[in-house]
Amino acid sequence: MIDRSELVSSESSAAPRARAGQAALELERVSRRSPGFYQRAWRIFRRNRVSMVALGVVILIIAFVLGADLVSEYITGYDYRRGELGEQFKPPFTDGHILGTDANGRDVLTRLAYGGRVSLLIAGLASLTIVVVGGGVGAVAGFFGGPVDAVAMRLVDVLLSIPSLPLLILFASLYRPGPVGLAFILAAVGWTGVARLVRGEVLSLRERDFVDAARVLGASNARIITRHIFPNVIPIIVVWVSLAIPGFILTEAALSFLGLGVKVPTPSWGNMLQGARDYYTRSWTNVFIPGFMIYITVLAISLVGKGLRDALDPRLNE
């Protein structure tokens, strides 16, 4: 890759550099003629002001939860595990507790950062897993068709016929998983959507000329799937995942809220809500704050997802 910005800026400097500047302009012109797919997508995305703001919010939230140790060390000065029983239900902005304290006298802002880390990591891990499993099953089913396809799609039908929350409750209450296990359980129930999507896309892609061309050149099935079909499926997977992550965050929160997800003392936004629920008459901020974080995160990620869909879905760009 040539760093174009540097070449372009050199154009304005002294005369001997003029030729280099000319070359740079030429390069700029040539490359502008056919911007890459993702470059064009980024241009479309950038124009969408709502999605850009949402992206900023998402980045802030991620920084906040990944920097939980820093928040605890420098901003609040409290440990997320330790509470003072005499300090219960402090309202926000008292005694250095920026967002107050919970039923065990623990600092809410600190727990919010650590809890968010758990919630977001679970959603991220679950998304990664459904991409691998769902994408893999969908690609194989769509590419090979026949009995493989039939078996895989019947399995998808079965899983789609069970409302997912009951199934998750069943899994979670029988297996009592930790955070990582919870991510895999979410993925185990949620991979069917991706599988169906990828299968449909692969079904239409495998009939295209470039696949025939690759086959004529002697490419193996594995090579065709990974090198020719997979890159074409990435955009829809990206869009789907960005729209699925909010769902995972919500479901994890719901399960933790029911006491089936992340177990105390590990904080998560869902179990912070659960803890606050019994004492809602004592402190409304404890109920409001974790739910609000879930809400803002889910909203911001879905708005980014919508921007991505507009930018990456070729059917809308025509």
Inter-residue contact 192 to 156 (CB < 8 Å): yes
Select from 167, 203, 234, 243 the one that contacts another protein (CB under 8 A): 167
* Token pair listed for 179: 């955070």
Give the nearer residue to another protein in terms of CB position, either 225 or 272: 272
Is 281 among the residues that bind another protein (CB under 8 A)? yes
- Name the one range near another protein by CB under 8 A: 32-40, 129-137, 208-216, 295-303: 295-303
**Per-residue interface string for the shown chain with another protein, residues 169-188, x marking contact by CB under 8 A:** xxx-xxx-------------
- Grouping H, G, I as helix, E, B as strand and the rest as coil, residue 81 is coil
Contacts of 135 (CB under 8 A, 6+ apart): 194, 195, 198, 233, 237
Binding residue for another protein, selected from 145, 250, 279, 310, defined by CB under 8 A: 250
Quick note: the x/- pattern for another protein over 126-165, rule CB under 8 A, is ----------------------------xx-xxx-xxxxx
Query: Which x/- pattern over 5-44 shows residues binding another protein (rule: CB under 8 A)?
Result: ----------------------------------------
Would you say 206 and 142 are in contact if contact means Cβ atoms under 8 Å apart?
yes
CB of 50 to another protein, least distance (A): 9
Q: What one-letter code names the amino acid at 250?
A: L
| Residue showing tokens 């679970």 | 122
Could you tell me if 229 and 214 are in contact, meaning their C-beta atoms sit under 8 angstroms apart? no
- Kindly state the tokens that stand for 164: 């997912």
Name the H helices within 48-107.
49-66, 68-70
CB of 296 to another protein, least distance (A): 9
The single-letter code of the amino acid at 214 is A
CB of 17 to another protein, least distance (A): 50
Going by C-beta distance under 8 Å and a sequence separation of 6 or more, which residues neighbour residue 121?
A: 179, 183
Q: Which stretch binds another protein (CB under 8 A): 28-36, 68-76, 125-133, 288-296?
A: 288-296
Q: Is 206 helix (H, G, I), strand (E, B) or coil?
A: coil
Q: How far is the CB of 118 from another protein (least distance, A)?
A: 16
Per the DSSP assignment, residues forming a β-bridge with 101 are: 107
Q: Which residue ranges make up the site for another protein (CB under 8 A)?
A: 154-155, 157-159, 161-167, 169-171, 173-175, 246, 250, 253-254, 257-258, 273, 277, 280-281, 284, 287-288, 291-292, 294-295, 298-299, 302-303
